[in-house]
Structure 1
């Protein structure tokens, strides 16, 4: 490939995205691959201002404020797409913890189709592999409860909301043809599925270049 392979891990809270991303990183590196791990929130230059809007939205839900959050996130992703992603080694695999597909799990009044349009208009880089990590909401809720920080969500506070978030995300996965990874078994099983999907895209890219 003439540029890095870009892989996004997205989904509801507590589904094990970060743990899975770490396991996939180890598996790829063990196979001799150059892997770059990124986290959207840590690379977002406007994180503080955006989270202030998110907190205001949590206190006073409104479609107008949620739209502003979506715009700010899209603008930050556009900046990452211009300033961060092009600077990675061309022979690497970039794994990012959250990207715009995650909005499908958290947007309440803004349809994901509009979120997608915002990101495309701003030329946010489209992942080569979208990995949608899901579990039954009861499982992700229980996993989050076992963590020191809990669910760690500004907008989801009840199991019913977690269930709605999961259902919305699974619909988006089906509609957009993302890789659905049900992370309810062992990490090894989920890792094998994701690594196979990555190698499948890498293989297709090689064939395209050869032809």
Structure 2
């Protein structure tokens, strides 16, 4: 490849997305691929200020405030696109933990089509492969309950909210043609699905 292959992994909380990302990284590196692991959260220099708005939105849901949150996340992704993604080796596979597809799960008022447009207008880099990681909401909810940190979500606190989050994300996967990975059986099965799709994307890019 003459440029990095950019792959985002997105999904509701508790679907095993980060565990899957780690497993995919291990398999690709064992196959002598150069893999760069990134996290939107850790790469975002404005995260603290944006999360303060998210917390305010939880207390007082309204469209104007949610739109500001969406705009700030898009601005951050534009910054990451320019200052982080462009610095990665041309022959690498970039795996990022969350990107703009995740807004389809966590935003409730602003339509995802509007959110997508906000990102594209800011020249946010479009992944070569969007991976949507999904489980049935009762499974992700139960998995989260077993973790010491729980669901670890600012915006999801009840099972019915997790159901709505999952349904919204599944609709976005269908509407936008993202790759659906159902992570409900073994991590090996989910890893094989994603690795196969990455190699298909590499062949297309070449």
TM-score normalized by the length of structure 2? 0.99
1:29-178 to structure 2, matched below 5 A, reads: 29-178=29-178
CA distances 1:125-150 after superposition (whole Å, capped 9, x unpaired): 00000000000000000001111111
Cα distance in 2 for partners of 1:148, 1:62 equals 32
Post-superposition shift, 1:205?
1.9
User: 2: CA distance between counterparts of 1:145 and 1:75?
Assistant: 33
Q: How many residues align?
A: 206
Correspondence 1:22 to 2:28? no
Give the match's secondary structure for 1:7: strand
Partners of 1:17 and 1:72 in 2: CA distance:
24
Once the two structures are superposed, what CA deviation does each residue of 1:22-43 show, in whole Å capped at 9, x if it has no partner? 0000000000000000000000
Unpaired segments of 5 or more residues in structure 1?
Answer: 207-211
1:46-91 deviation per Cα after TM superposition (whole angstroms, max 9, x unaligned): 0010000001011111111000000000000000000000100100
Q: Which runs of 5+ in 2 are unaligned?
A: none
C-alpha RMSD of the superposition: 0.5
Distance 2:204 2:120 in 1: 24
TM-score (normalised: structure 1): 0.97
Q: Partners of 1:53 and 1:204 in 2: how far apart?
A: 40
